[in-house]
Every structure is written in C-alpha cells, then in structure tokens.
A and B are shown apart, each in its own frame.
Chain A
Amino acid sequence: MDKNIVFRAAAIIIFLVLPLLVKSNYLLGILIIIGLYTIIVIGLGILMGYAGQVSFGHAAFFGLGAYSVAVLSTAYRWPTFAALLAAVVVPGLLAALIGRPTLKLKELYLVLATLAFGILVHIFFNEAREITGGPSGLTGIPYLSLGGLVFDRDIKFYYLVWSTVLLISLGVNNLIHSRVGRALRAIRESEHAAETSGIDTASLKLQAFVFSAVLAGLAGGLYAYYVTFISPSPFGFHTSVLFVLMAVVGGLGTFWGPLLGTGLVVALGEILRWAVPLAIPGAGGEYQIIFFGVILVVIMIVKPEGLGSIIKFSKKSVEKGVR
C-alpha cells in the first residue's frame, strides 16, 4: 500500500516536470494525445475489465464528443463549459439508448450493436454535410476557455488534459474500491452468482457502458478544442479497435493499465510510422494496422489479462478491495 502511494506520487511529479524537459512540440503533442486516449481507455477498461463487456464503437463516442464541441462552438457560439457538457451528454444518451436493450442479453449483442453504431456514426460524419462538413470536416474551433483562462498553447493543454486524467483515475480508483466496484467485479467473475447475490447486473453493466461513453465524449470534446479542426477520419472503426488494443495491452482492471497500454500503443504507432516505409517502400499508414492486429491476437492468447498484470503491487491493492 505504501509502495503504491510512493509510486503514484512519483508519477505525479513526473507528470508535472515532464513538459519542462520535453522541448519538442511533436513530443508534447503526443503526450497530450496519450492523455486524451487514456481517458477513453480508463472507461473502456471498466467496461471490459469489470463489467465483462467489450465495445467496438468507442471511436464513435469519441467522435460524437468532438463533433458536439465543433458544431456548437462554431455555428452556435456556445461557451466552453456548455459545449463540453454537450460533448458528454450526447454520447451518454446514445450509449444508454443502445445499451439498455442489448445489455440485458448475452454479451455478443453489445459487440454487434456497438460495431454497427460505430460504422453508422462514421457514415453520418461523412454524409451529413450540412452539420458535420462531410469528409472535409469543420475548422475554426475556438480555444478552450474556462473562467477567463484561455488554453491557447500546447503546454497549457498538457496540464489541463493530464489533470483531468489524474482526477478521473483517482475517482475511478475510489469507485472500484466501493460497493459499486465490488458489484462490478462480481459480475465479471460470475454473472449468475452476482445476480443471485441481489446485484442488478443489467443496470450496473449499463451504467459502466454509459460511463465509458461519457469519458470518450469528454476526451472527444477536449480533442476538438486541442486540434481546432476535425474531420471524420480519426473516428472510424480502426480507432475503436485501437482503443480495445490499448485497454488489453495495459491490462484490464488495474490502476496503471490504461496509461501503460495507451502509452505503449501510441508509441508503437509512431515508431511504425517511421519504420514501416523503410521496410516496405511505398507503404502507407494502412500497414501499421497489421502489426496491431497480430499483437492483439497474440496478447489475447498468451496473456488475456494484459501486460499491466506484471505490475504486481497494483493488482494486490485491487484484491485488497475485495476483502
């Protein structure tokens, strides 16, 4: 337990000092993206690791958050807080709509529903030109401004995103050690046993799903403010699979899993972007995905609990919560 606190304090210090050491905007940008994806993967990790469900449509919730901010802050001039609220509410409501009937059934139906939903939303981003600007997207998203503070530089955004990650991580950590967390774990171990013990499994799984969509929407809203220009391409099916990969690589149901998995997958993506064209001349970005596919298969066969489980003490702290 003490070791855990030391570890977390060290992580917070690293988080505070890192941007001062990183001089390149490229690296700072990657750190911001890792932070944003980590928010999504934390939610997906709860859905997968605790509620035992998987979604192949989280890029759509991410995109819905981003488009909510983009549309509302440009065409309707909504202030930051209101636009971000919409970025959270819109995906949350849609998740409740899909999740409510499908989560009562066996697990594969949510997979199919999220898969279909993800592709449909992506088609919508491309086709609803009047709202979304079609394939060319939307530009001119204003800077995020909260209480007179304008986040117009990467370094400010870095602190905003990573403070959000920290707050969510701590909140989720508390949640997992609460009654709700124990109930969710019970569902993962055995849904029948959980139900017999009086846990409303369908309702809890729905809450976990909606919560994960809300986090994805929040990350999307922040993403739109960060890049100030959005198009449909980052919100396709491949991104959804990448989120699942990040959750799986880091390990499900661990404190460090989401950060670890996201960091590794984003770093690998960047390395592949350099390395693949050297190995296969004329290769485009599509080739990266082969590696991700193979890694996903290998991890699921060899170590389905993810690489995060290597960090023993964080897992122990989770187990402590059970008792």
Chain B
Amino acid sequence: MLGLEKKDTSLLIVVAILTMCAPFILNPFPTDSAMAQFNAGYPDLMQRFVIFGIFAIGFNILFGLTGYLSFGHAAFLGIGSYSAVWMFKLLGYNILPGIFLSVITSGLFALLIGYISLRRSGIYFSILTLAFAQMSFALAYSVLTPLTNGETGLQVYNSDPQYFHSDAMPNIPHLFGQEMQSTFKLSMGGWSFDFNTGYYICALIMLVMFYLAIRIFRSPFGLMLKAIKTNQTRLNYTGLNSRPYTLAAFVISGMYAGLAGGLMASMDPLAGAERMQWTASGEVVLMTILGGAGTLIGPVLGAGFIKYFENIFSKINDTVLHQWFAFLPDGIEDFLIAIVHPFVGKGWHLTLGLMFMAIVIFLPGGLVEGGQKIARKFRGGKAKDTTATTDSTPAE
C-alpha cells in the first residue's frame, strides 16, 4: 500500500491507530481516582508528544542514517517558531502560511549551516553545529532583538498588521476558522477524554512525515545514506561524492525541525530564544538515542517516553509520595521518601541524566533494541524448549 512493503505498511497503520486513539489510550484512569495523575491525555501534552515526534523523526534521518551527530538542531526548531510567529503577525492567525514559511526558512538555514559544517565530519561536525546553534541563540537572544524581541520572546500584539485577518476569524491560531485550542470533552462514566483540534492536526502532519521518513529509509537515497554511515571512505574510493547526499539529509532533517517549530508556535503563538539553546539540541539527541537511532519507530517512542516522564515525574511531589507510602510504618515511610525525593519533582533532570547514561551504556540501540532482545529471548526460549523435547523424544 502507498508504495510500502507489507511490514512498513502495518507499522504505519499501527502508528496511525495509536495516534488517532491517543486521547483514549493516554487516559486509562478515571479522572477522580488516585491514578489520574498518570493520565497524559490532555491536549497540551499530547501536542508535545507528536511535535517532538516530528522533530526526532527528522533528526533521525540525519543521525540515524548518516551517523553525523548534530548538536545544534534546536536552532532550526527556533527558526521555525520565529518564522511562524512572524507570519501570524503579518498575515493573521491562519496557521498554514506560518507552517509553510517555517519549513522554507529552516530549510534555507539548514542549507547554509549544512554546507559549511558538512565539510568536516565526526567530532568536528558536532562542534561546528554546536557553534552555529549557540551563535544563533546569542543572535536571537540579544543581537537581533528587532526581529526576535530578545528575552521577552516574539508574540503577536494587537497593533500588528495581520493583513488577512477579518473579524469573523478567531483571534487565536486557527486553520480556516477551526481554532487550535478548541477541545471536545467526552465524559463516559468516571472517565473523560479530550479531543483537541490542534492535536489532531499535528498528529496528521506527523503521520505524513512518518510516511515520508519510511519512504526515505527505503529509497536508494536512504541506502546511500546508510552506506555513508557504514564506511564513508570506501564510498569515496568508489568515485562517489557523498557530500550532496549528506547535505540533502541535513536539509531534510532541518526542515523537519522547522516544521516542528512552526507547529509549536501554532499551538501556542510565542517563540523564545531558549528553544534554540544547546541543551534543547541535547534533548532531541536523547530522544532519538533513547528510542533507537536508525530505526523507524524509535524516535517517536523516545520523544513520547521522555515527554511523558518529564511531565509525570515533575508532577510528583512530597505530598504525593506520602500518599503512596502511607501504608508503611512512619520511619520506613520517611526513609523511602527521603530516598525517592531527589529523583522526582524538580529533580527530574537527575533521573533523565541517569536514564540517558544507562541507555547509552547498556542499550546503545535504545528501546527498540531492548524490545527486540526481549522478544528474541522469549522466542529463543521457546525454540530451545522445542529442541529439548525433540531431543528427548528419541531417547524414550
């Protein structure tokens, strides 16, 4: 279907079903139960899942396929956000031109930065992209204040022209009148589910982008990128110039990042420089590695995983912990809380760092590899059992 192999088609369908039913899947607990804090089905978080999913899918096209580790991808996210907000300011709140421009501008910037950075490889490439990203951050934060509104962040004011804005249109981001914020609440018994327009638009775009990524992975172009990762020297010796391919991969992944930035601005029309800081670039690297670099579904998983735990872990505070451990004797309860306390709430980054190290050390292939290993173990165990029985039968 759609020019995909059978396996990929079923993967795409599974992802499509999961994203479309996400409001149900992410809200498994009744709203007034104690477990409700583990629900992730509210619009803001679901939007972040898919937006960062797009970002990570794009990053994976560069890092997973070619092995070039860019430490400055957040710059494109920021550029995308700024261009989308500028479109809101100039043309009006319809998100289409904003998203369109954010993809174009981030693509242009990626072309420029990639053209320069890709002349070097390995660690030099990482540091060059890092330098470019920090430079864009510094530019956005202070130097280009007329364009980016500096520390305050770029936002839409009433005095902005908004040429295509009419009074019939809502005064918040919308798609031909459909407000991004509008949410349909469905209550069923103790459960309540949120269906948010913005989420579904982001999810549809993510599905298209995911489909595109599968096509890139399976295309001859994707194979060429994989060859670059495996052995670039040999590729060069065969008389091939690999730079156009890496540059194309860099621009594509930059455009993905720009799209994610544009969508982010469409959900919440505000763009700040801190989105471009190198720790933000580190985050997308983390998502990709955590899920599994070079795999199709990995980055999406990683993005969802990190955003979910960021949200849940940072919400757990001491009161919640006391509720959990209330059944224990007081001394043990306080002791356990003292141990858990540094890892939750504000200390969530500590857990993140530890998790990240553990993944890189023990599971370089990420969650996907972990899942495959477990699956193989189950299958391998069964296979062994059958051989054992067949071996033992003749003896009897």
Do A and B originate from a single complex?
no
> Which residues of B line the A interface, CB within 8 A?
none
